[in-house]
Amino acid sequence: MFAISLGDDGAQLRPLEAWQAEEFLTHMDRARELVDAWIPFAAAATDLASARNLLQRYADKQAADTGRLYGIWLDGTLVGGVLFRIFDADSGNCEIGVWLEPAAQGRGLITRAAERLIDWAVYERGMHRVEWDASAANTRSIAVAKRLGMTRDGVLRQNYLYRGQRHDSEIWSVLAPEWRARRG
């Protein structure tokens, strides 16, 4: 297995695979309250079988080249992750998503991991547009999009039905030429 360093603090980005379901479930239990407020990701992993199923769905997406899932480890503990929720190589468009457990917040882990994903998408795979979709109320997620140099494309009003309520989504993006100029 490979690991990509996320900096001097020892944080690593690694593939997150079905065989790691128990570790993933333990992590989701720590992250559930924070993550579940915004996305159904935590609700999709409530026991070992459902955690394994979620990880397997992303393994299948990776095999089909339509998505990928990576974990963020800090001091040997899985504390969050980043993913390509959508990856369409033919159109050159993808969407990244992120999550983190409360104890790992405030260290820049999500920003650093998202930078690695965008680098790979743009430089290795030739993606043209990388999107970030966040609830308009999720100010922490929107702050990451800003730190990544993304542009706010707009708001999709009440487009996201979650837990019986409609939420506005902010769509942010960065285009390959913008990313290359930013990264030098």
**Residue 130 C-alpha from the chain's centroid:** 12
40, pLDDT greater than 90: no
Stated length of the chain: 184
Q: What is the mean pLDDT of the chain?
A: 94
Give residue-wise pLDDT tens across range 132-171: 999 998 999 999 999 999 999 999 999 888 888 898 999 9
pTM (two decimals): 0.93
Q: Do 125 and 29 touch, CB atoms closer than 8 A?
A: no
Q: Which residue type occupies 62?
A: Q
Q: Do 70 and 3 touch, CB atoms closer than 8 A?
A: no
- Alpha helices by DSSP H, listed for the chain, are 21-36, 48-63, 109-119, 139-147, 176-183
Residues 6+ positions from 177 with CB-CB distance below 8 Å:
none
For the chain, the maximum distance between any two Cα atoms, rounded to a whole number of angstroms, is: 44
Of 29-33, 65-69, 76-80, give the lowest mean pLDDT range.
29-33
122 by Cβ neighbours in 10 Å (0-12 / 13-18 / 19+) ranks as: buried
Q: Do 59 and 47 touch, CB atoms closer than 8 A?
A: no
66, pLDDT greater than 70: yes
The predicted structure's pLDDT at residue 1: 61
- CA–CA gap between residue 150 and residue 175 (Å, rounded): 8
Q: Do 104 and 98 touch, CB atoms closer than 8 A?
A: no
